[in-house]
Amino acid sequence: MENQARIFDVIVVGGGIVGLSSAYKLQLHNPDLKILVLEKENTLSAHQTGHNSGVIHSGLYYKPGSYKAQNCVSGRKELVAFAKEHNIPHDVCGKVVVATDESELPHMERIFSNGVANETEGIEKITGDQIREIEPFCAGIAGIWVPCTGIINFPSVVEKLAELLTGMNENSWVLLGQKVLSVEKHQDYTEVSTNCTRFKSRHIIYCGGLHSDRLAQMDGVKTKAKIVGFRGDYYELAEHAMHKVKNLIYPVPNPAFPFLGVHFTRMIQGGVECGPNAVFTFKREGYGKTDFNLKDSVDALTYSGTWKLFSKHWRFGLNEYRRAFSKKLFLEQIQRLIPSLTMDEIVPGRAGVRAMALGRDGKMIEDFHIEYNDNAIHILNAPSPAATSGLAIGEQVSQMAEERFGLKV
Alpha-carbon separation of residue 140 from 137, 149, 156, 278, 292 (angstroms): 10, 19, 35, 23, 39
What angle in degrees, to the nearest 10, is found between the helix axes of 154-168 and 386-405? 30
Read off the DSSP letter of residue 111: H
- Give the pLDDT band of residue 319 (cuts 50, 70, 90): confident
Read off the DSSP letter of residue 78: H
Residues 6+ apart with CB under 8 A from 83: 89, 90, 152, 157
**What is the model's pTM?**
0.94
- Give the pLDDT band of residue 258 (cuts 50, 70, 90): low
Express each pLDDT in 76-131 by its tens digit.
Answer: 999 999 999 999 999 999 999 999 999 999 999 999 999 999 999 999 999 999 99
Please, which residues bridge with residue 37 across strands?
12, 174
Domains with residue ranges and CATH for the chain? 7-48+155-224+367-405 (3.50.50.60), 226-364 (3.30.9)
Q: What is the mean pLDDT of residues 375-398?
A: 95
222 near 326, Cβ under 8 Å? no
Over 70: is that where the pLDDT of 178 sits? yes
